[in-house]
């Protein structure tokens, strides 16, 4: 967002703030039910109201004395949302850097809510009061042009929850010299992730002419077969790898873009919408400034 739109008040994550692994642990909904979650946390239609707040008191933070986050109680109590207390990662006990001995794991929602080194879980009518829930990880409106202007908006804008559908061109990398094959095409590869609770990814399209024409990519979910209902359920939160051969004009300053669609119909737009914190960016994936050559040019 900083490089393609305008300056933001945030960290340069680029395409790297993502992990795809296997988590295991008890459902938080089961634990809350066994703890005797109160019926007065239900609304008049029988749905769950209120929030679940997570807290870690293990270390001081930059902007608060502890770290906390919250998610809607309705999300936690939805078995299809798979909210767990993670004890293992990739069939191994959690390591300290990943939150051992226990961390919250709320898939599909911004990772800031999956609190590590979890000390306390509270079911309450109000959201978490922690700084990082009230003054960070929010998609502020365009009017919040700087830190000072943002103060008028922090209390009015809800915390960011579901992550948007997204995709990335991993290869070729921006600035590379790329060789066309005998058919005048370039092989592009990357990954895509679904939006929030609406996974898995259904389709990725790739273009070598700025979005005038598109090629549907081949998707790779590993051993999961998303053509079946069971396979789609298992792949719900997962990324997929993709690859495609796309025609790209010879010359300098070329680009390859990609866009993904998930099973909820969420898609990507060509240009993202700017916000001060630079979060929630899901414009088309992009490899730019490519130098595209024919095989003869490369050999010579």
Query: Which CATH architecture best describes the domain 23-150?
Result: Alpha-Beta Complex (3.90)
- Both tokens of 242, joined, read 């993709």
Q: Are 103 and 86 in contact (CB under 8 A)?
A: yes
pLDDT at 34: 93
Domain boundaries, the chain: 23-150, 166-299
Integer CA distances (angstroms), 89 to 32, 96, 191, 232, in order:
22, 12, 21, 21
pLDDT at 300: 52
Burial 154-176 (b: 16+ CB within 10 A, else e): eeeeebbbbbbbbbbbbebeeee
Q: Is the pLDDT of residue 106 over 80?
A: yes
pLDDT at 155: 95
pLDDT tens per residue, range 16-50: 778 889 999 999 999 999 999 887 899 888 899 99
Q: Is the pLDDT of residue 291 over 70?
A: yes
Size of the chain in residues: 300
pLDDT tens per residue, range 81-90: 999 999 999 9
Query: Coil, strand, or helix at residue 36?
Result: coil
CATH code for the structural domain at 166-299: 2.60.40.650
**pLDDT band per the 50, 70, 90 thresholds, residue 4:** confident
Q: Is the pLDDT of residue 6 over 80?
A: yes
Q: Which residue has the higher pLDDT, 15 or 146?
A: 146
Mean per-residue pLDDT of the chain:
94
pLDDT at 299: 55
User: What is the number of other CB atoms lying within 10 angstroms of the CB of residue 40?
Assistant: 9
pLDDT at 101: 96
Strand partners, 168: 191
pLDDT at 298: 59
pLDDT tens per residue, range 259-275: 999 999 999 999 989 99
């Amino acid at each position: 967002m900083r490089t393609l739109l305008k300056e933001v008040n945030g960290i340069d994550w680029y395409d790297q703030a993502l992990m795809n692994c296997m988590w295991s642990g008890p459902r938080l909904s089961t634990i809350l039910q066994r703890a005797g979650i109160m019926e007065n946390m239900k609304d008049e239609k029988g749905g769950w109201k209120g929030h679940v707040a997570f807290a870690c008191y293990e270390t001081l933070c930059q902007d608060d004395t502890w770290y906390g986050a919250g998610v809607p109680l309705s999300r936690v109590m939805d078995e299809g949302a798979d909210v767990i207390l993670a004890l293992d990662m990739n069939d191994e006990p959690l390591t300290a850097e990943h939150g051992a001995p226990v961390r919250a794991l709320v898939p599909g929602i911004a990772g800031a809510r999956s609190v590590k080194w979890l000390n306390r879980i509270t079911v309450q009518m109000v959201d978490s009061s922690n700084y990082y829930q009230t003054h960070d990880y929010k998609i502020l409106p365009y009017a919040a042009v700087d830190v000072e202007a943002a103060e008028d908006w922090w209390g009015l804008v809800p915390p960011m929850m579901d992550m948007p559908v997204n995709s990335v061109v991993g290869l070729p990398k921006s600035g590379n010299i790329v060789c066309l094959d005998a058919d005048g095409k370039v092989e592009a590869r990357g990954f895509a992730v679904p939006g929030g609770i609406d996974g898995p990814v259904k389709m990725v399209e790739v273009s070598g002419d700025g979005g005038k024409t598109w090629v549907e990519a081949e998707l790779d979910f590993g051993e999961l077969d998303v053509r079946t209902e069971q396979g789609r359920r298992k792949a719900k939160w997962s990324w997929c790898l993709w690859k495609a051969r796309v025609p790209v004009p010879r010359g300098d300053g070329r680009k390859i873009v990609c866009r993904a669609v998930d099973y909820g119909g969420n898609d990507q737009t060509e240009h993202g919408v700017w916000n001060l914190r630079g979060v929630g960016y899901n414009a088309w994936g992009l490899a730019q400034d490519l130098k595209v050559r024919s095989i003869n040019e490369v050999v010579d």
